[in-house]
Structure 1
Amino acid sequence: MAPKSTSCYARFFSITLFLIFMASHGSNAATEALLIKVDQSGKGDYKKIQDAIDAVPSNNKQVVLISVKPGIYEEKITVPTDKPFITISGSNPNATVITWNDSGNIFESPTFSVLASDFVARYLTIQNTYGVGAKAVALRVSGDRVAFFGCRILSYQDTLLDDTGRHYYSNCYIEGAVDFICGNAASLFEKCHLHSLSKGDASITAQHRDSPSQNTGFTFLGCKITGVKTALLGRAWGPYSRVIFAFTYMSNVILPQGWDDWGDSSKQSSVFYREYKYYGPGASTKRRVEWAKELTIEEAKPFLTKNMIGGKSWITSTTNRFTKLSSNGISRNNTRHHA
């Protein structure tokens, strides 16, 4: 058992990081957050993460922090659409692991599905251990204004289904082989580490934008790419697929051609694959496909800040008061509406 001082420090550390990194939730955000503790030893409010989520009332209006003690949580988790304003936080992603083993449909196989808006996850490992041979999503993100800080997201095929909405990933480690970041969200990946398990020409990204009117796409800013052998930066799942790599280190895992049209040459004239101030042994453009371009300074500007996902309005600190879970669950006072 940890000494009392260590336990107190851990609680202080968790709450402090919550204040620094938590995404705000607009004008309807609560000024007081409800704190729910998950601990497999039974010393928290719940032993399972899903039980803590289930305790949050439908149409929730209050910021809820679910603080998860270290452990391996074998759970298939869903944050439903009617439960916004939830933050789930561990203290160390290597120590707080959410794991499941499933495959098949990309919308049914995820270990962790975020359907709600205004969700935040911090310092967690989310993994699908199915392995090679089928679609096996670790994380599905289908809510709006969703942020991940310092998380590890692990699988082999379709690891991160970045489905729809505006999303922000900061200092995350994302690992997989085949199309392991896929979907049609508008997402900014900042200072993330992408690790490819591909042993041939599998793609890191498969972005699905299917209309020029959709303001979606993936931007990787200040990231790092490593891998076990060779891989492509992306392939065109949708005809207007949009992916940008800026200020990103590319190891020699990246194949010289860089990109793939998914066997449909008509997509070459409509996709938007761009690179800007990238570096490393995999960054040479001498043999890049001719339909992938380098951005000029002016062209790059819209993609280099959080403005591209409207982030200034929702990625910020939000509260400095906490209410503990009552013995009878969430009380009516704890779920009051806030202007």
Structure 2
Amino acid sequence: MAASSTEPKDLSTAILIRVDQSGHGDFRKIQDAIDAVPSNNSDLYYIWVKPGTYREKIVVPADKPYITLSGTEASTTIITRSEAGEIYDTPTLSVLASDFVGRYLTIQNAYEGNGKAVALRVSGDRAAIYSCRILSHQDTLLDDAGRHYYKNCYIEGSVDFICGNAASLFERCHMHSLAERTGWVTAQHRASPTENTGYTFLGCKITGIGATLLGRPWGAYSRVVFALTYLSSVIQPEGWNDWGDPSNQRTAFFGEYKCYGPGADRSKRVTWSHSLSKEEAAPFLSKGLIGGGAWLRISPIHFRKRPAPATTVEADS
């Protein structure tokens, strides 16, 4: 079912749904709260998740836009499960709807072995994720499709732990590599020069425990830029990898602009990566990259109760 194209008339007011495992909210489970949002809704819905550990596999379906899913602190509001397998089957939380906002949550896939184990999949357009902790090992964040904004998030993994073909801006995020030998922060999936997709990391930080590269091209035209970002010593001197296919060197666009820290030395970088000038970097350094000025919204300041579910009255026989 297609998502609603009707924008809420009042972006300052949302319908509040409370999730509380103790039974003092509207629902005990997050998925039950999402299921209570009507299809093709034209109201903002704010699902407030009280502190706790929620062991659920959650989907925000494509026909339920304008949902905010918010905890109070990421450290105390935890959504977790453990599953590995095909990349689209494993996410702990899958966001298929447009105009989604996530705030103050830990989203975790706790699988410990080798294999694809996604914590968060974002496939809807116009999604914003604030102050969340996104945790796994391989393919932690499947930043799949659409325009997305991540701010003040902590993202942890080892292999391709930010991957997909969205157009996304990561601002003041902290990426932490768990790779003990060789890991990759990004695997961006842009497949042709006509696709307006790619990842920009602005004012971010990368730390870790072992050897890590900034990225490799999942798609031949992969596009990733790190700007004004602290790169710790875990970033290896070559910086980037062509995923074993030298032809990717001609088509992928991997750039750095005014990064700093012990891993930012470009003297031994692969020659096909780019040290960007101010003019070259400019298009990647604002929310204009994702058209964010047109859709990023402030949090609602007024709340109202969820309408009572409609009841069916049987006619007298």
TM-score bracket relative to the smaller structure: over 0.9
Of 202, 218, 232, which residue of structure 1 is paired with 2:213? 232
Shift of 1:318: 6.1
Matched, 1:29 2:18: no
Shift of 1:245: 0.1
- Asked whether the equivalents of residues 80 and 116 of structure 1 are also in contact (C-alpha less than 8 Å), the reply is yes
Q: Deviations over 1:37-74 (max 9, x none)?
A: 00000000000000000000111111000000000000
Secondary structure (helix, strand or coil) at the match of 2:181 reads strand
Unaligned 5+ segments in structure 1 are 1-24, 332-339
Higher relative contact order (CA 8 A, sep 6+): 1
Shift of 1:321: 2.5
CA distance in 1, matches of 2:273, 2:118: 28
Deviation larger for 147-156 or 125-134? 125-134
Q: Deviations over 1:250-295 (max 9, x none)?
A: 0000000000000000010110000000000000001000000111
> How many pairs does the alignment contain?
306
CA distance in 2, matches of 1:261, 1:63: 43
Matched, 1:301 2:294: no
CA distance in 2, matches of 1:126, 1:330: 33
Shift of 1:315: 1.2
Match of 2:164 in 1: 183
- Asked whether the equivalents of residues 196 and 227 of structure 1 are also in contact (C-alpha less than 8 Å), the reply is yes
- Asked whether the equivalents of residues 30 and 63 of structure 1 are also in contact (C-alpha less than 8 Å), the reply is no
- Asked whether the equivalents of residues 6 and 42 of structure 2 are also in contact (C-alpha less than 8 Å), the reply is no
Match of 1:317 in 2: 298
Q: What is the 5 A alignment of 1:189-228? A: 189-228=170-209
What is the identity, as a one-letter code, of the residue corresponding to 1:43? H
Q: What is the 5 A alignment of 1:134-283? A: 134-283=115-264
CA distance in 2, matches of 1:329, 1:153: 34
User: Structure 2-normalised TM-score?
Assistant: 0.94
What is the identity, as a one-letter code, of the residue corresponding to 1:228? I
Q: Deviations over 1:157-205 (max 9, x none)?
A: 0000000000000000000000000000000000000000011222110
- Asked whether the equivalents of residues 132 and 157 of structure 1 are also in contact (C-alpha less than 8 Å), the reply is no
Deviation larger for 221-230 or 29-38? 29-38
Structure with the bigger percentage of helix = 1
Unaligned 5+ segments in structure 2 are 312-317
Match of 1:85 in 2: 66
CA distance in 1, matches of 2:274, 2:243: 18
Matched, 1:103 2:87: no
Identity %: 61
Secondary structure (helix, strand or coil) at the match of 1:307 reads helix
CA distance in 1, matches of 2:42, 2:112: 38
Of 51, 55, 67, which residue of structure 1 is paired with 2:36? 55
CA distance in 1, matches of 2:58, 2:275: 40
RMSD: 1.4
Shift of 1:102: 0.6
CA distance in 2, matches of 1:317, 1:176: 30
Q: Deviations over 1:106-139 (max 9, x none)?
A: 1010000000000000000000001221100000
